[in-house]
Amino acid sequence: MMWWQYLLVLVGTFLVDVSPFPLPPAFTVMVLLQATFNLQLWWVIIIGVGGSIFGRYVLTLYIPKLSGKYFKAAKNDDAEFLGKKLKERGWQSHVLVLIYSLLPLPTTPLFVAAGMAKLKPYHILPGFIVGKLISDTIAVLTGKYAAENTENLVRGMVSWKSLVGLIAGLLLVFVFVFVDWRTLIQKRQFALKFKIWK
């Protein structure tokens, strides 16, 4: 077993999931490296999901510092208010995160929102871990079947699906950042705030 190739899986999945910007999903890194180096499938899934989880964990830790530096206090207060509402939901918020993690949508906006809301990682990670294990296992198994030709896999990374995922991720970030959540939840009025930067 060549350990450095599995280290590439760990580092690659960590890097795409520690970013606050929607990047290609971590499973694409897993599928590409598994196909390129003919790695043992289950080790790739376990190590890749571990790298993803660690990346998202680190993301939730540093996002509050970035949001405090770049966003106005009102926007950060709005995010914290939303976070408190999620905490009040208890186990229901874990189920919501699990369902979201199973959908073919980028989870970056979810973790950026959680970080800005100053949610502790244990409020979001359990549902994400279960969803990530399920969705990435399916994706990697499907990818292994489809990746008999690595060239086709690389071309497939820039497809209409990846572009739709990127656009959906950016829209979710836009919705989280510019919607006035306190007004929406308390007064049931939709409002946008664009003056959020310091």
pLDDT in 10s for each residue of the chain, 198 residues: 579 999 999 999 999 999 988 788 899 899 889 988 989 999 999 999 999 999 999 999 998 888 878 777 777 777 777 777 777 777 888 888 888 888 777 888 888 888 888 888 888 899 999 999 999 998 888 777 665 555 555 555 556 666 677 687 778 777 777 788 778 777 888 888 877 766
Alpha-carbon distances of 10 from 4, 5, 17, 32, rounded to whole Å: 10, 9, 11, 13
Contact 140, 27 (CB under 8 A): yes
- Collapsed DSSP state (helix, strand, coil) of residue 164: helix
pLDDT of res. 155 = 58
pTM: 0.71
User: For the chain, percent helix, then strand, then coil, each to nearest 5?
Assistant: 80, 0, 20
User: Which residue in this structure is represented by tokens 């699990």?
Assistant: 98
Looking at residue 97, its pLDDT comes to: 86
State both tokens at 119.
């949610």
Q: Which residues contact 33 (CB under 8 A, 6 or more apart)?
A: 5, 8, 9, 12, 39, 44
